[in-house]
A and B are shown apart, each in its own frame.
Chain A
């Protein structure tokens, strides 16, 4: 919006806010494992214009029928605060914890990386993969698949290193995270 337009706001709504600092937060959400629960969570993010950097979900307690969703989201501190409260309003949501503020946590994700062609580079690729403790989970005459586990940055680094080695396919799970130490959640 130009200065001129700002001065002459003809909208029935006020001006858009100025840009503020953007933070990245990792949230753990415990939900009832019922049909539509993921749609509620995702719909909340899209409906209210929040960002999703990464999202993972799986059942964690079959008896109690609970799932754990891990979301990495970015926004201003106020938006992050809103996301937590809005998630808390959803009826099947039991608990929302912001791992980024509630203490140190470990986070991890898995990626599968397929290398094809450039056969002459396969040995070098295998050599580099050792530094990342990446496992070879599939191998043919023309291809390799590595499985790498680590925090998001480690996985990204590994992918970047593999790019010139004939990398053709990547799939990442998105991160899962747990708080360090004896505290639960």
Chain B
């Protein structure tokens, strides 16, 4: 008898030290869901009950390891799970019913797919014998969600269920993360079967490449070291690679002394307070970031995907540069922009590998060239592209965000910003500083209005001590305003900072600049009183109507212990600049001062 067996014999026969096979754990499908979630380290899920998921809700009721957050709409649950995932790095989990429950979650799933957010969505389904019969609350959920998930499953036999859940977690966080859906018929939730623990679950053949090719890493370092006008172009892939990737990136970029910009999704991967930070790039990015991209001789893309909001006209995109592209998804490489050196792998591993080679070979940047490059960049910086005409009697949205920035810095609290979609989102990206990863939750790829409030709720649940602020527009916030109830129910002190201009601002801006000032359906003829609305939900409502009221209102907002709406009544006609008009290149971006001219030229 071996030692292990001897020890096993005196312990309970369920310990793994025995050679005896563990007795099979017989559970119902619903219990398996709970058991598998617990094994996967899930402590919070977001959902909404309904007929086809009642057995799982029953199992949830009879345990205390997983906290269920009752959202007020399945879309809200999905965005809350996204906010939770983005701010904690753990997969977000949603539980919804069949039919409308599943279809309501579709926007959130698509949002997570485009922004590479790991989500698990469990949907109830009508019993297997009714599938295809147009049963009550039946929808072809796997059919509907096939193009908007990374992968999905319909589990028709309880014996496959626990394995499928473990595999789903593996798929959602491996490689390029994304949403994975499990459709679970009601009879499978009731049926009993053997539970397969995580350790015994079959590891699927799905094993994306994460380790970069070292030869290419060395080639990349040689290119980087030889650059005269380099720029780092970083994206959400660095955030997805975990906080260490951002730390390593920061160290590596500082070692080189090179300028760095980032996409909307990558904000926070490099500290905004550093000198080397150029600000965000792209359509509403900074002048210096876009010009540096255009004029550079070596572009180091890490975890960004040459999105059309970033590139402008692809024919004129950074015409003179050698381009290095690090991406975990081979399909992102050469999809839009042809690159000279492609490295498939995890951004964190690639950064670490490049930095190791840089140190090992004792690489030194070309100081003279770099000095000239920085002088050029400083000239672009001097344009002060984010400047705006402030006013003493009306609140400019940029000024509101500058005051918010001031008070946040003063408070010293660990701050998490979420946004809705539109002008306010771009201003938040321009005016608020992000110094750490996982502090910025925004809908980038899909551009989903209504994302910010539920995302703030998920973020607050994942970071109970954090200060969570949804920078919102008055149009977007109304798309998921019902989640105020969720925030009140779970005593989540999220702050909703509405830049209220009574217009769908970005739509209005495009109509002004490109459609002859014909403002078709972009003005909200009636809006709620947001202060009373907050109070009606059981939260706190504050309002600022003039610039001199802002400081007081922000200070009061920062210390509330309940969900708080701040209705900041801002200038209606303010446009978001600088801007790359469509079909234009990075070096053709227009500043606020040029806007009048731009207007005449195009309309």
A142 to B510, CA, bound (A): 68
Given contacts A14-B308, A40-B146, A43-B147, contact A86 B582 (CB under 8 A): no
> Does B41 reach chain A (CB closer than 8 Å)?
no
A78 to B206, CA, bound (A): 25
On whether the beta carbons of A9 and B582 are closer than 8 Å, the reply is yes
> Does B143 reach chain A (CB closer than 8 Å)?
yes
> Does A150 reach chain B (CB closer than 8 Å)?
no
Instruction: Please choose the segment from A87-95, A124-132, A153-161, A171-179 that sits at the chain B interface, where 4 or more of its residues have CB less than 8 A away.
Output: A87-95
Instruction: Please choose the segment from B91-99, B327-335, B369-377, B450-458 that sits at the chain A interface, where 4 or more of its residues have CB less than 8 A away.
Output: B327-335
Contacts of A78 in B (CB 8 A): 334-335
> Does B515 reach chain A (CB closer than 8 Å)?
yes
> Does B314 reach chain A (CB closer than 8 Å)?
yes
On whether the beta carbons of A14 and B582 are closer than 8 Å, the reply is yes
> Does B514 reach chain A (CB closer than 8 Å)?
yes
Interface bits B306-340 vs A (CB < 8 Å: 1, else 0): 00100011100000000000000111011100000
- A interface, size bucket: 20 to 34
Q: Which residue of B lies closest to A8 (CB)?
A: B602
A10 to B154, CA, bound (A): 44
On whether the beta carbons of B204 and A14 are closer than 8 Å, the reply is no
Nearest CB of A to B315, in Å: 8
> Does A81 reach chain B (CB closer than 8 Å)?
yes
> Does B142 reach chain A (CB closer than 8 Å)?
yes
Contacts of A89 in B (CB 8 A): 329-331
A9 to B603, CA, bound (A): 10
Contacts of B333 in A (CB 8 A): 85
On whether the beta carbons of B206 and A15 are closer than 8 Å, the reply is no
Interface bits A43-58 vs B (CB < 8 Å: 1, else 0): 1000100000000000
> Does B150 reach chain A (CB closer than 8 Å)?
yes
> Does B280 reach chain A (CB closer than 8 Å)?
no
> Does B211 reach chain A (CB closer than 8 Å)?
no
Contacts of A82 in B (CB 8 A): 331, 335
Interface bits B481-515 vs A (CB < 8 Å: 1, else 0): 00000000000000000000000000000100011
Nearest CB of A to B157, in Å: 12
> Does A101 reach chain B (CB closer than 8 Å)?
no
Contacts of A85 in B (CB 8 A): 329-331, 333, 335
> Does B10 reach chain A (CB closer than 8 Å)?
no
Give which listed residue, B154, B204, B602, contacts A36 with CB less than 8 A: B154
Interface bits B160-198 vs A (CB < 8 Å: 1, else 0): 000000000001000000000000000000000000000
Q: Which residue of A lies closest to B170 (CB)?
A: A91
On whether the beta carbons of B331 and A91 are closer than 8 Å, the reply is no
A11 to B583, CA, bound (A): 9
On whether the beta carbons of A39 and B146 are closer than 8 Å, the reply is yes
A85 to B331, CA, bound (A): 5
On whether the beta carbons of B150 and A88 are closer than 8 Å, the reply is no
Contacts of A13 in B (CB 8 A): 308, 582
Q: Which residue of B lies closest to A7 (CB)?
A: B583
A93 to B334, CA, bound (A): 21
A122 to B161, CA, bound (A): 59
A6 to B312, CA, bound (A): 15
> Does B205 reach chain A (CB closer than 8 Å)?
yes
> Does B151 reach chain A (CB closer than 8 Å)?
yes
Contacts of B154 in A (CB 8 A): 35-36
Contacts of A88 in B (CB 8 A): 330-331
A88 to B151, CA, bound (A): 13
A78 to B314, CA, bound (A): 14
Nearest CB of B to A95, in Å: 10
A86 to B146, CA, bound (A): 14
A85 to B332, CA, bound (A): 9
On whether the beta carbons of A91 and B204 are closer than 8 Å, the reply is yes
A12 to B313, CA, bound (A): 11
Contacts of B206 in A (CB 8 A): 91
Q: Which residues of B contact A (CB under 8 A)?
A: 142-143, 146-147, 150-151, 154, 171, 204-206, 308, 312-314, 329-331, 333-335, 510, 514-515, 582-583, 602
Q: Which 8 A-B pairs have the closest CB atoms?
A: A85-B331, A9-B583, A91-B151, A10-B514, A85-B330, A47-B147, A91-B206, A86-B331
